[in-house]
Amino acid sequence: MEKKAKGGQFVGGNVPYGFTLDPEKGLIINEEEALIVRKMFQMYAFGREGVHTICHKMNEAGNRKRSGKKWDKRVILT
């Protein structure tokens, strides 16, 4: 596991939102999810909006987590 980490490879756990795990290539960008991640980042960095507002706007727009559940502050902060 340490060797993988030093080589920049995925070492396990939950696959981050915005990525898909390919057994041969490792983490690859999931463009559909990455679009949402980029939007959240822009809202936070450039719009100076807080986590509560970002959650509200994402949920109001119908965006959901992989599980189909609504976004919550805890998930966005991780």
Regions in the chain scoring below 70 on pLDDT? 4-8
Beta-carbon neighbour count of residue 21 at 10 Å?
A: 14
CA distance 61 to 63: 6
pTM of the model: 0.80
Token pair 């980029």 in the structure block, residue: 38
Instruction: Give the residue from 74, 71, 47 showing the smallest Cα distance to 60.
Output: 71
Fold observed for domain 2-77: Hect, E3 ligase catalytic domain fold (3.90.1750)
pLDDT of residue 41: 94
Spell out the domain ranges in the chain.
2-77
| pLDDT given for residue 75 in this prediction | 86
pLDDT of residue 5: 64
Express each pLDDT in 42-61 by its tens digit: 999 998 899 999 999 999 99
Q: How far from each other are the two terminal CA atoms of the chain, in whole angstroms?
A: 22
Dihedral, CA atoms, 37, 16, 28, 18, nearest 10 degrees?
-20
